[in-house]
Amino acid sequence: MKLSENEWKIMNSLWKKNPATAREVIEQISGEVEWAYTTVKTMLTRLVGKGAVSEHKKGNTSFYEPLIEQEKAHKNAFTNLFDKVMDGALEPFMHYLIDEKKISKKEREELIRILKEEDQEK
Amino acid sequence: MKLSENEWKIMNSLWKKNPATAREVIEQISGEVEWAYTTVKTMLTRLVGKGAVSEHKKGNTSFYEPLIEQEKAHKNAFTNLFDKVMDGALEPFMHYLIDEKKISKKEREELIRILKEEDQEK
DNA sequence: TTTGATCTACTACAAATGTAGAAGAAAATG
DNA sequence: CATTTTCTTCTACATTTGTAGTAGATCAAA
């Protein structure tokens, strides 16, 4: 399942709150982007076509729900990034995290904790 | 600078070896993908158009070189992934790394080292 | 120098993506 | 009920991406 940038936006909104109407989706993402109502509708329809979202109606209004799990979708996106874009390299990523995203000391410690924790588990 | 998947493939090849001719690029990525010669040419031309790659000729043959830095390009890709796709979430990424990419104990230790090292520096 | 191999430049064309307008149906409001 | 608001479905259209084919130029080998 490959999603476009705009589709991610919609999916992220739906993962936060669902079922949701097109109107609700728009409201949730307004401020981040300014799309016409029908633009959002079009993307929702396309997502339904891709099988990423379900649609059911109450009266004449459609309610949408994600059909794919956020976690899986994100993993796919990561895999894609690493395989296709990064050619498998991991280390530059860590530096990126630290340099560009300016993760806090706290977050850094959290990451270390996660890494160590898994070390124990396995 | 936004690159498509195929363009990443070409760029990664050019970062490994440059300047390079279209023929050399093809040879380097053959095995991973099977594109017609003219397909690679088209993409190189498009990359030149985007300003990601330079082209200069010797005789009638073009030699290509990356104009953008690999590190910066990768950072952009990360930023894009996090901002657009992940909505800023970091933690799921670590779990992804561990679960899906099955990074080795060694790599894990390396990541921890990097994270700690930066901790000292700043 | 003829001929085959190789390059380039140009053109093509379908699918995906971004972005929405128009028209008609349904719901809400006065 | 008449009018306004809101939804839906269709249609549209430019750009980007994937993926080459063709024809003409050039280089290399016999």
Are the Cβ atoms of A101 and B82 closer than 8 angstroms? yes
Average pLDDT over residues B90-112: 74
- Please judge whether B118 and A98 are an interchain contact, meaning their C-beta atoms are less than 8 angstroms apart: yes
The CA-atom distances, in angstroms, between A22 and each of A9, A40, A51, B14, B85 are 13, 7, 17, 44, 20
pLDDT band for A15, please (50, 70, 90 cuts). very high
Q: Do B12 and A87 touch (CB under 8 A)?
A: yes
> Which of A71-92 are b and which e, b meaning 16 or more Cβ less than 10 Å from the residue's Cβ?
eebbbbbbeebbebbbbeeeee
pLDDT confidence tier of residue B119, bands split at 50, 70 and 90: low
Tokens 């017609």 locate to B36
Stretch B45-60: mean pLDDT: 96
pTM of the model: 0.87
Q: Which nucleotides of D are covered by protein (CB under 7 A)?
A: 6-12, 16-22, 25-28
Please give the residue of chain A at the shortest CA–CA distance from B32. A84
Tell me how far apart the alpha carbons of residues B50 and A3 are, in angstroms, rounded to a whole number: 23
Question: What is the spatial distance between Cα A99 and Cα A94, in angstroms, rounded to a whole number?
Answer: 9
Whether the per-residue pLDDT at B120 is higher than 60: the answer is: no
Q: Is the pLDDT of residue A28 over 80?
A: yes
DSSP 8-state assignment for residue B36: -
Both tokens assigned to B2: 């936004």
- The verdict on B86 touching A (C-beta cutoff 8 Å) is yes
